[in-house]
Homo-oligomer: A and B are copies of this chain.
Amino acid sequence: MSTESISATTSIGEKLRELREGKELPLRKVSALLDIDVAILSKMERGERKLTKDIILKLAGIYGYNADELLVLFLSDKIMYEIQDEDLGEKALKVAERRVKFLKASKQK
């Protein structure tokens, strides 16, 4: 999966809302499928409640959308939250990349 197609401006919540509206499904129906309160799903789509990997995977199934792309968006949201308005955010991302690559290289033996 490439990441180039993923928007730089859309959060995971917004994306999920777009997908739901694209399928013309009301919160009511989707929340029933997920077996959660309609208020919670509403808040998740608007970023007021935390999403979980589990919910994302279920929604990918419901909307017939690529799960990995949603998970990448989800993870990048969490990353964005950590670096927020920090000036050093970009540098921290570069260091994290180096560390991830290092870990990956360490694991494959």
Contact = CB atoms under 8 A, between A and B. Distances in A.
Given A79-B83, A83-B79, A90-B104, A72 B97 contact: no
Contacts of A73: 95
A104 B88 CA distance: 12
A46 B96 CA distance: 19
Interface string A90-107: 111111111111101000
Contact of A99 (B8, B98, B101, B104): B8
A104 B89 CA distance: 11
Chain A interface residue number, banded: 20 to 34
A1 interface: yes
Given A3-B98, A71-B92, A80-B99, 6 more contacts: A3-B95, A8-B99, A75-B92, A79-B92, A80-B96, A94-B97
